[in-house]
């Protein structure tokens, strides 16, 4: 591990230790927050009882579906917008202001279309995530050098082969950045939707614990989400670094 990595771990460990001391000393009341050690203990008890398996499965499946749709759709839409400059100029202002839109206002409409199921939650998450993928796809395509496009013409590649063999490998770092952002936004969209729109999932479980003053359980569930998201982001970061090393060592 690098020096920066150890420094980061030290800062996180110090913050957790300080929080533990403040909670144990009573500077932070238990009704407001429990010590980190209690969060870990409560989470271990919940996992041992198997109470969270259904909620974890439902949340992760919704995130996976939303993320897959956002990534695939974002790449295709990004390629399409790049191929249509006039349409792109018309759409770009909407992309720039996309995250100012409160997507939850569409939930009644989505329920009317899809019914009371996971579909409205997945659609909301896709709306959160897809623009990040579109923007990063466009950024990558804007930086493709003319030489690569000449190579495609020299080899007489048709449009699908040019995209598959030339453009996608060339913009891989940008696609991976978009993939990471789309994954994060999918988590945000799903869990935030479950807070107010669902009867199951980790977001619903946190809201239920909060409404019933189960502070210990609430923080245990929040810790679980932090651990899950951190693990996924770490795995994606390691994958990105591995791809970059292979790319520059050729």
What is the CATH code for 34-248?
A: 1.10.3720.10
Return d(Cα 177, Cα 71) in angstroms, integer: 11
Query: What pLDDT, on the 0 to 100 scale, is given for residue 76?
Result: 92
202-224 per-position pLDDT tens digit: 999 999 898 888 888 999 999 99
pTM: 0.84
Query: What pLDDT, on the 0 to 100 scale, is given for residue 1?
Result: 60
Instruction: Flag the least confident range among 44-58, 109-123, 215-229.
Output: 109-123
Helix axes 53-83, 85-96, angle to 10 degrees: 140
Backbone angles phi, psi at 159, to 5 degrees: -60, -50
Sequence ranges of the domains in the chain: 1-32, 34-248
123-176 per-position pLDDT tens digit: 999 998 999 999 999 999 988 888 888 888 888 888 788 888 888 888 888 898
Q: Does residue 250 register a pLDDT over 70?
A: no
For residue 155, give the 3-state DSSP assignment: coil
Query: What pLDDT, on the 0 to 100 scale, is given for residue 219?
Result: 92
């Amino acid at each position: 591990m690098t020096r920066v990595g150890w420094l980061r771990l030290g800062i996180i460990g110090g913050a957790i230790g300080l929080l533990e001391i403040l909670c144990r000393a009573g500077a932070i009341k238990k009704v407001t927050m429990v010590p980190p050690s209690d969060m870990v203990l409560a989470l271990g008890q919940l996992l041992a009882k198997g109470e969270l398996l259904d909620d974890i499965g439902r949340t992760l499946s919704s995130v996976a579906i939303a993320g897959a749709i956002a990534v695939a759709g974002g790449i295709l839409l990004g390629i399409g917008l790049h191929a249509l400059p006039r349409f792109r100029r018309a759409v770009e202002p909407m992309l720039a202001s996309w995250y100012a839109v409160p997507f939850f206002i569409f939930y009644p409409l989505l329920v009317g279309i899809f019914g009371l199921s996971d579909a409205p939650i997945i659609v909301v998450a896709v709306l959160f995530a897809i623009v990040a993928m579109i923007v990063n796809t466009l950024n990558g395509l804007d930086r493709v050098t003319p030489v690569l496009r000449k190579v495609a013409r020299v080899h007489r590649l048709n449009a699908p082969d040019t995209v598959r063999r030339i453009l996608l490998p060339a913009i891989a770092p940008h696609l991976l950045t978009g993939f990471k952002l789309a994954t994060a936004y999918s988590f945000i969209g799903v869990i935030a939707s479950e807070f107010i729109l669902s009867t199951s999932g980790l977001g619903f479980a946190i809201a239920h614990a909060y409404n019933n003053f189960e502070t210990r359980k609430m923080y245990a569930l929040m810790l679980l989400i932090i651990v899950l998201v951190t693990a996924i982001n770490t795995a994606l970061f390691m994958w990105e670094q591995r791809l970059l090393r292979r790319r520059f060592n050729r």
